[in-house]
A and B are shown apart, each in its own frame.
Chain A
């Protein structure tokens, strides 16, 4: 009987979705839900914070969605999804017990290993907290490995703060600096108002020993990157999670081409010094 060794064994077909069951659905915001997916067969593959899956709703289509849960939080995947199109609308309306296809995990995640021993500055805008959440959960689970950890998070208004209860829990911790800001608010809001990048000037940062992880709308990330550079961080210590229209997820189809690379394969988390020259190019 032929037994393939590790080197010659065929890898799973990256185009073949595995069947997953929706184990739970939690509504986070009016248009945003977090679903937990469990594999119908076998074990979920390992993944790292910042990676993404292709979620396939039969008869509707497929979309790239970052993991919003840490690998230790579930035997499956947690995905936070906002209803912004046909596929995401279908995903946000899935009921417990529904079955969908999952391809992944794909892409390069946050530099968790490189961040060990350093201060970590996490800056999230809007739904950008979803891909960053696994990084925060991972850091808190292994807190002693990291220096000072700060989370700066911005939302459109107080009603749109993602993971509100969890963020409130984070704010209670003595080993985590958390600042929440909103772009606009009425006078009943006692918290901070202003865009997230402007919080950097107030943050206690040791620029020579800090890794920054940033996720949010691209315009917000560009301003954030400028503010981080101004604060003294080197571009090679600043990581952004880029978003493009991903299809194949393995760097073949070219839909997510980003200069010489592909967001699906070389990203979505990319280092600023490697992409800074591309950020202001409209055609990319």
Chain B
């Protein structure tokens, strides 16, 4: 998959050109080598990143135990949604499993835009909410441990 035109990703599909332009004003392209961390647990959730190329592993570690990967994200996925709700802290690590490129959106910039233009904010929240719902469904299946001997 190539890194050409990240604005053609499904996450941005159907947005008005003026909204895309405003989003672009909050965005910075980022590149990460393999094994670099995009997000560290406990840090301020100040950014929302959309993966434009590569894969990212979401990890969580308990004291005395090796880290566990609970989700892999790929092109078009949103890495980091803790900026949406208090306490605005990351609750896991996100590590690039291969060279990875993202569009990183400044969370303060996004929140100010969405507060100033509720229609824009509502449309964008309808983009982020399905991400949360899908991950909640996935987490339920993982918790059920459906492939275990029962």
User: Taking beta carbons and an 8 Å cutoff, which residues of A are in contact with B?
Assistant: 31, 82, 84, 125-127, 154-156, 160, 181, 183-187, 189-195, 197-198, 201-202, 216-217, 219-220, 223
Q: Decide: A194 and B71 in contact? CB cutoff 8 A.
A: yes
Give 11 new A-B contacts, CB below 8 A, not counting A154-B147, A195-B142.
A82-B149, A156-B145, A156-B147, A184-B142, A186-B67, A191-B72, A193-B70, A193-B72, A195-B141, A202-B76, A220-B141
- Name which residue of chain B comes closest to A186, CB basis: B66
Cα–Cα distance between A193 and B58 once the two chains are bound (Å): 9
For residue A9, give the distance in angstroms from its CB to the closest CB of chain B.
45
Q: Decide: A156 and B134 in contact? CB cutoff 8 A.
A: no
When distances are taken between beta carbons in the complex, the residues of chain B under 8 Å from A184 are 68-70, 142
Q: Decide: B146 and A194 in contact? CB cutoff 8 A.
A: no
Q: Decide: A190 and B146 in contact? CB cutoff 8 A.
A: no
For the A-B complex, the count of residue pairs with Cβ-Cβ distances under 8 Å equals 73
Cα–Cα distance between A201 and B137 once the two chains are bound (Å): 14
Q: Decide: A186 and B68 in contact? CB cutoff 8 A.
A: yes
Say whether chain B's binding surface is mostly helix, strand, loop, or mixed.
mixed
Q: Decide: A193 and B69 in contact? CB cutoff 8 A.
A: yes
- Name which residue of chain A comes closest to B97, CB basis: A190
Q: Could you list 8 A-B pairs, sorted by A, with CB under 8 Å?
A: A125-B147, A181-B72, A186-B67, A194-B71, A194-B72, A197-B141, A198-B138, A223-B137
Q: Decide: B69 and A186 in contact? CB cutoff 8 A.
A: yes
A84-B149, A125-B146, A194-B72 as given contacts; A187 in contact with B66, CB under 8 Å: yes
Give B87-100 as 1s and 0s: 1 = Cβ < 8 Å from A's Cβ atoms. 00000000101000
When distances are taken between beta carbons in the complex, the residues of chain A under 8 Å from B74 are 192, 202
B106 within 8 A of A: no
For residue A101, give the distance in angstroms from its CB to the closest CB of chain B.
26
B57 within 8 A of A: yes
Cα–Cα distance between A220 and B141 once the two chains are bound (Å): 7
When distances are taken between beta carbons in the complex, the residues of chain A under 8 Å from B67 are 186-187
When distances are taken between beta carbons in the complex, the residues of chain A under 8 Å from B68 are 184-186
- Name which residue of chain B comes closest to A160, CB basis: B147
Cα–Cα distance between A91 and B28 once the two chains are bound (Å): 59
Cα–Cα distance between A30 and B69 once the two chains are bound (Å): 23
Q: Which chain B residues in 12-63 approach chain A with CB under 8 Å?
A: 55, 57-59
Cα–Cα distance between A219 and B147 once the two chains are bound (Å): 10
For residue A118, give the distance in angstroms from its CB to the closest CB of chain B.
24
For residue A27, give the distance in angstroms from its CB to the closest CB of chain B.
16
B116 within 8 A of A: no
